[in-house]
Amino acid sequence: MTCAVALADIRSARDRIANKVERTPTVHSQNLSQHLGVPVYLKLEHRQTTGSFKLRGASNAVASLSAEEKARGVVAASTGNHGRALAHAAKLEGMRAVICMSRLVPGNKLDDIRRLGAEIRIVGNSQDDAQQEVERLVTQEGLVMLPPFDHPAVIAGQGTLGLEMIEQVPEAALVLVPLSGGGLASGIAAAIKGVGPRTKIIGVSMARGAAMKASLDAGKPVLVEELPTLADSLGGGIGLDNRLTFAMCRDLLDDVILLSEEEISDGIRHAYAREREIVEGAGAVGIAALLAGKVTVSGPVVVLLSGRNIDMGLHRTIICGDAPSAAEHAA
């Protein structure tokens, strides 16, 4: 099978971004290991600079631009973490960055991106509306579009996480990866299956608006209704004109698991109370899938904690045990 992004691309990405991102630790979880009866490890990528793995893809994409493209500046649509990462990566390169986002994006994420030095445009009620504004800026102002997942340099950058995980836990039988547009899962699966094809990779999404799962089931990219969810970083479609991540997820993922909002809040609560880690909803889905008993395990498991950019008021509500409705969260 040939993939749009191969192991060699991911290895070059790692060299390119080595001094721009952290190599995050992987730790053994005593609690989850006892609970599951197999060794469970947590990859603490929520501690990455800017609070999510998105810095890997953004840094690799920005560093891969020509001098002429760097002079024009970059633009992206983002539900938060990609925008934040791109703002940081562009600033390091001394470049202009414009971030377009929909009104569903929580205020804390917006402020952070502005503070990182990017210009912000708020457009429409969906990721697709924000994407249209990106295309306008590309055509009318000559900015270079760097999308959050469907781009070879972004996928290769996210794939560097796969290399780290398999080096940190070479005996891993299963890796659980949060799944939205699929750049993260595609990159990690290409890396890990490139190194040792026996490790299974399972994607985990929220049941409310799981675009990749619906697309895989349909056999082609489809639109799903975008709904507020505790895993807000997993919101948004995969694009009807998806070029890379749909095929990669179809060919490389062993399964996709969907979670209820209650299961996701259990994951956030467990991460805090038992593992002493503050993670956002999207970052907690791997833990949540294990706690919900939705994964069959037969050997060592690595769970990727992908981000920590949660509103702290919401986090407090969740850990105090009052399950907030997704609608409350979005309000």
Binding site residues, ligand PLP, CB under 6 A: 52, 54, 81, 148-149, 178-185, 233-234, 280, 282-283, 306-307
* 98, containing H or E segment: strand 97-101
Q: What are phi and psi of 98, to 5 degrees?
A: -115, 130
144 or 188: whose CB is closer to ligand PLP?
A: 188
CB of 181 to ligand PLP, least distance (A): 3
CB of 311 to ligand PLP, least distance (A): 14
Provide CB contacts within 8 A for 27, sequence distance 6+: 41, 42, 44
Cα 204 from Cα 285, distance rounded (Å): 6
73 or 283: whose CB is closer to ligand PLP?
A: 283
Burial of residue 194, with CB atoms counted within 10 A of its CB: 0-12 exposed, 13-18 middle, 19 or more buried = buried
Inter-CA distances, 283 with 16, 187, 247, 249, 271, Å:
25, 17, 24, 19, 10
Question: Starting from the edge strand earliest in sequence, which strands make up the sheet with 74-77, in order?
Answer: 119-122, 97-101, 74-77, 144-145
* Contact present, 268 and 284 (Cβ < 8 Å): yes
172 or 305: whose CB is closer to ligand PLP?
A: 305
* Contact present, 187 and 47 (Cβ < 8 Å): no
Which residue's beta carbon is nearest to the bound ligand PLP? Answer: 307
CB of 234 to ligand PLP, least distance (A): 6
Q: What are the helix (H) ranges across 169-240?
A: 183-195, 211-218
CB of 53 to ligand PLP, least distance (A): 7
143 or 284: whose CB is closer to ligand PLP?
A: 284
Which residue from 157, 295, 289 is spatially nearest to 231, judged by alpha carbons? 289
Cα 90 from Cα 87, distance rounded (Å): 5
CB of 180 to ligand PLP, least distance (A): 3
SS3 160: helix
CB of 164 to ligand PLP, least distance (A): 16
39 or 248: whose CB is closer to ligand PLP?
A: 248
10 or 39: whose CB is closer to ligand PLP?
A: 10
CB of 228 to ligand PLP, least distance (A): 16
Provide CB contacts within 8 A for 316, sequence distance 6+: none
Q: What are the helix (H) ranges across the chain?
A: 7-17, 30-36, 54-63, 67-72, 81-92, 107-115, 127-141, 152-168, 183-195, 211-218, 245-252, 261-273, 281-291, 312-319, 326-330
14 or 54: whose CB is closer to ligand PLP?
A: 54
CB of 227 to ligand PLP, least distance (A): 16
106 or 307: whose CB is closer to ligand PLP?
A: 307
Q: In which residue are the tokens 């999510």 written?
A: 52
CB of 244 to ligand PLP, least distance (A): 11
64 or 180: whose CB is closer to ligand PLP?
A: 180
